[in-house]
Amino acid sequence: MIIVTGGAGFIGSNLVLGLNELGYDDILVVDNLENGLKYKNLVDCRIADYLDKDAFLKKLQNNTFNPKKVEAIFHQGACSSTTEWDGRYMMENNYQYSKTLFHYGQQHKIPFIYASSAAVYGTQGVFKETLSAEHPLNVYGYSKFQFDQYVRQYEGELTSQVVGLRYFNVYGPRESHKGSMASVPFHLNTQIKETQKVRLFEGCDGYENGEQRRDFIYVGDVVDINLWFLDIASTNGIFNIGTGRSQTFNEVAKAVINYHQYGTIEYIPFPEKLKGCYQSFTEANLDALRNIGCKYTFKTVEEGIALYMEWLNQ
């Protein structure tokens, strides 16, 4: 059995589908379906069972969950809202829950591949998996940062694989339930269909209108890297998962416009509430990933958005 926490969410459901495509269907999805719309992400997936995240946690804590048949845990579940400022909730949900799964995996020698985030880096402009580069801007980023620090304490005494994957700006199918936290391409697709315009922020942090740059990565690439790590169980560590190149929001908008073959860009004032806590530039340093032999070629914004727009508008 393979366990996927957050398995009804954006990346998690794509991961379940990716496992299905490799022939895995003995999958336990763990999630919280308080947002019932997420069920749609699993309709075309094959799974063995579903458990609410709190029920699953209790089974682990009470030793009533049988670990003997568990091949791996993909821990994708978290509150990923960068605008959530309830730190007590965030640390309980993202940090303490992750610690419980980590120790369960270590106790029973189960590979543990978990989602970290590029939010740990903040605005320093260096995106390398080292403590000196890590300066989270919000409590979400801090919850991910702190769990990475916790895992690092055990580097020399691990009993099974532990891999943290720092996702950059992920976009692609199965994210509509995320609402305001869905990706830029998702929102631009909605805008262009409703108004024949796409809206981007005016310039900030020394960047011209729409020229802020992010490392945008297609969710299919994220899934492929997760599955790649499943095959190299001897590898441990924290790794950036981005394309290794930044592209502008203007390029994202133009890719959406090119798909629809109509539309213009409208620039709107940069929100006051985001000033000082906004990543105007991200670009994954992939040295650590390449140094362990991963030669995977990531899609460009133009390639990934073409695939995504086809899926969204079918």
Distances 26 to 67, 77, 146 between C-alpha atoms, Å: 14, 19, 32
Half-sphere exposure at residue 73, Cβ-oriented, CA atoms within 13 angstroms: 28
Number of domains the chain contains: 2
CA distance 60 to 104: 7
pTM: 0.95
**For residue 203, what is the domain's CATH number?**
3.90.25.10
Q: Which residues are catalytic?
A: 140, 178
Residue listed under structure tokens 């315009």 = 197
What pLDDT sits at residue 233?
A: 81
The answer to whether residues 86 and 202 belong to one domain is: no
3-state secondary structure of 188: helix
Among 222-226, 267-271, 284-288, the minimum mean pLDDT is found in 267-271
What pLDDT sits at residue 186?
A: 98
CA distance 49 to 32: 14
The answer to whether residues 145 and 8 belong to one domain is: yes
Give the start-end residues of each E strand in the chain: 2-5, 27-31, 49-52, 72-75, 112-117, 162-167, 169-171, 197-201, 213-214, 216-218, 237-241, 247-248, 264-268
Confidence of residue 174 (pLDDT cuts 50, 70, 90): very high
> Under a CB-based contact definition with an 8 Å cutoff, are residues 163 and 114 in contact?
yes
**Does the residue 270 lie in any domain?**
yes
Phi, psi of 153 (to 5 degrees): -65, -25
CA distance 8 to 3: 12
**Does the residue 296 lie in any domain?**
no
The answer to whether residues 118 and 181 belong to one domain is: no
**For residue 12, what is the domain's CATH number?**
3.40.50.720
Residue 249's closest CA among 204, 311, 314? 204
| Mean pLDDT score across all residues of the chain | 95
Using one digit for the tens of pLDDT, what is the confidence trace for 24-73? Answer: 999 999 999 999 889 999 999 999 999 999 999 999 999 888 888 899 99
Confidence of residue 96 (pLDDT cuts 50, 70, 90): very high
What pLDDT sits at residue 276?
A: 77
Phi, psi of 188 (to 5 degrees): -65, -35
The answer to whether residues 176 and 130 belong to one domain is: no
Using one digit for the tens of pLDDT, what is the confidence trace for 127-139? Answer: 999 999 999 989 9
Structural domain that includes position 37: 2-170+218-244+284-291
Using one digit for the tens of pLDDT, what is the confidence trace for 180-214? Answer: 889 999 999 999 999 999 999 998 889 999 999 99
